[in-house]
Structure 1
């Protein structure tokens, strides 16, 4: 990483940690993934169930399903995960819309648009999906030609030793974050996590999304065989999306715990503050 000194007289110095290309792609990803999540839940609500296999509801058992069912004199929301059933009244399966209990998979405050409209949800989803793909391609080629991947994300051989990884895991559990010169670079857990997200989760989410498109299947029918059918691709798309949500939750928590202002400044201006005297 670049290490431009922008020192101050406060016992700390600023180092240049994130390039403009990385920062722009990061914030565009934040926008795209936010809209993709909420519009994706709108699309899911049109048929709030997931299946393994080729054909879905007619021939394959659901893997996850949300519905509203009658329970005596009342209606309740239930969520099925495999053979397990959970009462999720008020959130999944049955939620309040304008003060009235309404049958829907995810509640209105989690979908774009908030009202049930599959067509509008699909338009939002597809527009930001292609914007996300374009942004990802720009970032990929930047990372390739600028050596960002090799310089900043590829772990060194000694970083992959079990003892080193175990030490970093323990430090994270104890909320002991890198300081001084070590804070100039991503730690090994960050590197491995970002590599998994960039080169596994994101391509899988894009590929399974394309597999659900009949038009794209006509161009690349092998995708249906690769993922075991359109319904299996839909399930994998859903699970991959929520794996990314889990990553974002942990990522935001680490940003807050390791220094919210310092981390935000580095992702807005590029500069990250470290203690003077520990920079060598």
Structure 2
């Protein structure tokens, strides 16, 4: 009800603006803002505690099993002794890269230590698998509950259909949106552009569900209750690899998202996701122009 009243008020305020003025419109629902910041906090703790768990065995495989008798490794992070001393490495599909100081071998109390991800990238900073799992599982359920709540709220307030589902016009505008983004040419409108719909939709309807599903697959309790879930995903080790890859996609999305916020005007973007209010281009702007990133 509050959101609807604020939207109606923003529309009337926009009509009274002088020509050329930039209207301030109500763009983000309260429920969207709450879930956005809940996700941000949950993702932070999930990422760092997940890297703590990964460090217990920093190798990924395809299939159901792993070990010396199998050749199904796709990623390994570790260290090895060389004539020049210990060296950290990252091996991807059989090809090794020297990652000393960051991955495989990093400083702990000024001492080179074999460790998948460095101490500053994990929660807790020291190796503690038990604590990492407790933190990870707690925020994983926060993520799941928030995601379900967001879906329900999005259906009720119309956010899903109005803002996230690409339509024919959006797809026709895709080449222009790509060109404008490459040129850092941003515009402000109330609606999401095609690239935003594709990016947000991909994260919310592909990446997050896969992270949740593969996370459940690796849970001993869920594995016992639904034993065929791992087989559907290609095995427990495949599920772990998919889980890790989806994490990398989320990190990549976050980096691009923050770069776009900075490039498009951080104050306006932060106001939108904190208060819901967003300043758009003057009404005289040509119809159909893509909007600024949020």
- TM-score scaled by length of structure 2: 0.89
Corresponding position of 1:209: 215
Note the aligned Cα RMSD (angstroms): 1.8
Paired residues of 1:77 and 1:89 also in contact (CA < 8 A)? yes
Supply the distance in 2 between the matched residues of 1:278 and 1:113 (Cα, whole angstroms).
53
* Correspondence for 2:142: 131
After superposition, what is the alpha-carbon deviation per residue over 1:43-64, rounded to whole angstroms, capped at 9, x for unaligned? 0000010000111124343110
Distance, in Å, in 2 between the alignment partners of 1:276 and 1:166 is 24
3-state DSSP of counterpart to 2:280: strand
Separation of aligned partners in 2, 1:275 and 1:61? 54
1:102 match: 113
Give yes or no for the alignment of 1:252 onto 2:261: no
Equivalent of 1:72, from 67, 83, 93?
Answer: 83
* Shift in Å, 1:89: 0.4
In 2, distance between residues paired with 1:96 and 1:141? Answer: 46
- Check the 8 A contact 2:107/2:118 in 1, yes or no: yes
Unaligned ranges ≥5, structure 1: none
Long gaps (5+) in structure 2: 288-294
Work out which of the residue numbers 159, 175, 186 in structure 1 matches 2:170.
159
The corresponding residue for 1:52 is 62
Structure 1, residues 109-149: CA drift from partner, whole Å, max 9, x if none?
A: 00000000000000000000000100001001111122211
Q: Could you say what secondary structure the match of 2:100 adopts? A: coil
Structure 1 residue ranges (4+ consecutive) displaced by more than 4 angstroms after TM superposition? 5-10
Partner Cα distance (1:60, 1:139) in 2: 41
Structure 2 Cα separation of the partners of residues 278 and 270 of structure 1: 23
1:16 and 2:26 equivalent?
Answer: yes
The question of whether the paired residues in 2 share the 8 Å contact of 1:89 and 1:95 is answered with yes
Answer whether contact 2:187 2:281 (CA < 8 A) is retained: no
Aligned to 2:279: 273
Whether 1:199 aligns to 2:208 is no
Normalised by the length of structure 1, the TM-score is 0.93
Paired residues, what number? 275
Correspondence 1:63 to 2:42: no
Secondary structure at 1:53's aligned position in 2? coil
Take 2:179 and 2:67, find their aligned partners in 1: how far apart are those partners? Answer: 45
Matches of 2:50 and 2:216, distance apart in 1: 14
